[in-house]
Amino acid sequence: MGLPKFPTTVIGSWPRSNEVKRAMRDKRAGRISEEEFQKIADEAVLQCLKWQEEAGIDIVSDGEQRRDNFISFVAEHLHNVRMLTVSELLEYVEDKASFEEILGTLDVPAFSMSNPAVVGKISRKKPLGLSDYLFLKKHTDKAVKIALPGPYLLTRAMWVEGLSKDAYPTKEDLAIDIIKVLREELEDLIAAGVEFVQFDEPVLTELVFTQKNANRTFMCGALTAKADAEQEIAFALDLMNQVTEGMLGRGTRIGVHVCRGNWSTQEQVLLRGPYYPLIPYLSNVQVDQLILEYATPRAGELDAVREFGGKELGFGIVNPRTEEIESFEIIVDRVQQIRKYLPDEKIFLNPDCGFGTFAQRPMNSDEIAFEKLKAMTKAANKLREMVLA
């Protein structure tokens, strides 16, 4: 499918309505059936699609309306994965004092966040994103993006020593089966014709921007892990390249999304630092596009993109955590700056992250998200006019 210059897209998640959040709780409690939940979710996806289409977005998502968050949803799709709240994980963590201190730094109640933990050999029970794509494609002629948790995120999050060790003695052992699951999913999505698959790898920033210890985190992933940053970056790179081996150039754009956390509207508690320490990963990862946040000063200098191996850039240009609507003039100016380092055909525009990463804790309202997307589209249209002038 042909795209215009400076294509606009989203990261994936969109705020869930109270009806969807209630349906999620009712499904977990057994008060409604899976079919009843899906019917409610279908309507929510169509409303989410309507917001995006009216805003003029070129590559749309389903808003992750069927997911409780960007990673925990996999528990319903994989065999032998158990859901735990972050506070329940304390039972399985060796350094409990340090763990409790970490929880104290999170701007999220520990009981409200859940983590998928492996308790046996994993395999797909049902597809992770294929059904979402097939439903959305019935209702739009737009290109579609499907977001999936990256292999490093899944490995770090799901290997919990006290629960996982019998099936997988080390997280490296678990990674073998995670790669298999993601490759199966990617093959199915490519065969179905999906236009864009985005792998989320936000834990990478934990490795380089957290000074105190390597297991402090803004999400469930990595709460039980401690490792040397350079070794972990090399490990993460190897995992992603194993997933994408032989997948590029088959009609589906593949990207990796790296951010600094999307769990709070309080900028001061979020991670900060330039992308330079991640250059070994970003320059060598075998994907078509790097999807990076750049809408806040926390992301550092733009010139880091010189070192990213000539890949496309999903340029984070609006902040999903603020109520202020970015002016299209400011967006245009920022894109003009990035054009110094990349050709126009490699620049895509998107928010820094999703608008509703955690279902119960959206970063913004539908209305503000819609206005931010409209500003992004207006800027893209202006840039196209400028290029043609």
Q: Quote the pLDDT of residue 72.
A: 85
Which residue has better confidence, 146 or 356? 146
pLDDT of residue 215: 42
Looking at residue 218, what is its pLDDT? 43
**Quick one: average pLDDT of 333-338?**
95
Instruction: Determine which of 62-71, 118-127, 219-228, 347-356 has the lowest per-residue pLDDT on average.
Output: 219-228
Model confidence at 303: pLDDT above 80 = yes
Q: What is the model's pTM?
A: 0.91
Band (pLDDT 50/70/90 cuts) for residue 207 is: confident
Question: What's the confidence (pLDDT) of residue 373?
Answer: 97
Q: Does the pLDDT of residue 103 top 90, yes or no?
A: no
Mean pLDDT within 100-104: 59
Residues 1-25: what's their mean pLDDT? 91
- Residue 319: pLDDT over 50: yes
Interval 295-314 mean pLDDT: 85
pLDDT of residue 213: 42
**CATH architecture for the domain at 18-388:** Alpha-Beta Barrel (3.20)
C-alpha gyration radius of the chain: 20
Average pLDDT estimate for 95-107? 59
Q: Is 357 exposed, middle or buried (0-12, 13-18, 19+ CB in 10 A)?
A: buried
pLDDT classification of 208: cutoffs 50, 70, 90: confident
* Chain segment 136-174, per-residue pLDDT in tens: 999 999 999 999 999 999 998 899 888 999 999 999 999
Q: Looking at residue 91, what is its pLDDT?
A: 76
> Mean of the pLDDT values across residues 180-207?
95
Measured distance CA(288)–CA(346) in Å, rounded: 10
Question: Tell me: the pLDDT tens digits for 270-279?
Answer: 666 778 889 9
**Residue whose tokens read 């073998």:** 176
Residue spans per domain, the chain: 18-388
Residue 358's pLDDT is what?
A: 66
Per-residue pLDDT at 221: 47
User: What's the pLDDT band for 89 if we cut at 50, 70, 90?
Assistant: confident
pLDDT at residue 346, as a whole number:
97
How far is Cα 139 from Cα 1, in angstroms, rounded to an integer? 16
Residue 260 has pLDDT above 80, yes or no: no
